[in-house]
Every structure is written in structure tokens, then in C-alpha cells.
Amino acid sequence: MLHDRSGPTQEQMQQMAEAVRASLPDHFRVLMEEIVLRVEDFATEEQLAAVEIESKWHLTGLYEGESLPDRSIWASGRMPARIWLFRKPLIAEWRETGVRMDDLVRHVVIHEAGHHFGFSDEDMHALEDRADQDQP
């Protein structure tokens, strides 16, 4: 999806995020059906504080919810998990790196989905590093 240098609108980025989910293998997509994907310009002060990030420009995505391994069959009435994408920091990263916007959105959605499956940031960075080393 091509965009001018102003970047995608919230609606366009939302469509990109939904397309990422739709493209996942069935066994992952089914486990992510209940996750709400949301695009906002920036994280709230509360969201930034929760992950100990001071600048709203430094957070491109966030998972909020209980990961699958931590869930109990006895819990009920919980809010659905959410994956947040923060549009303006993503646009800034796109401008700075030249990485395609749909690739950035895909990376953030998959990274945040990893939290849904119980992976820590350190786990996911190690997996990404290993995948990069396996590339020809």
C-alpha cells in the first residue's frame, strides 16, 4: 500500500493491521480472533507509564490483556485483549528507516501478538535475532 510522506490515515493503518491478522496461519489466527486491534495517534500517559516509556514517540505498539498461558478457565467477564498501534510513532519510524509501512505494521502486530501467546520482549528479540541469522 503506497502513501505520500504524510503516511497512512488511522483507517488505512487499521486495514493494514486487520490484513496482517487475516494473513496469519489458521492456528494463530483463530487464537487471535478475540483480540481487538486499535490504531491511535499516540499512547496515553497511562499506557506509557505501564511500560516505563517516557516519550510518546518511542512506543509504536502495545498489548493489553491477559496472555493465553496466564488465563484460567475460572475467570469470566474479562475485557478482550487489545493490540494498539500508534500511528504517529510508526510514521516517524517509516520516515527514518525507509522500511515499508505495511512491513512495520506487520512487525508490530506480530510482536504484540507474541505477548498474547506468552512471549516476553526478550523472548521475541531472541527469536527475531535467530531468524535474521538464518536468512541467506
Give residue-wise pLDDT tens across range 19-68: 999 998 898 889 898 899 999 999 999 999 999 999 999 999 999 988 77
The tens digit of pLDDT for each residue in 71-127 reads 656 556 677 899 999 999 999 999 999 999 999 999 999 999 988 888 888 887 776
Count other Cβ atoms within 10 Å, centred on residue 51. Answer: 12
Domain 10-66+79-134 sits in CATH at 3.30.2010.20
For the cut 80, the answer to whether the pLDDT of residue 2 exceeds it is no
The answer to whether the predicted template modeling score (pTM) of the entire model surpasses 0.95 is no
Check: CB of residue 16 under 8 Å from CB of residue 105: yes
C-alpha cell at 41: 495517534
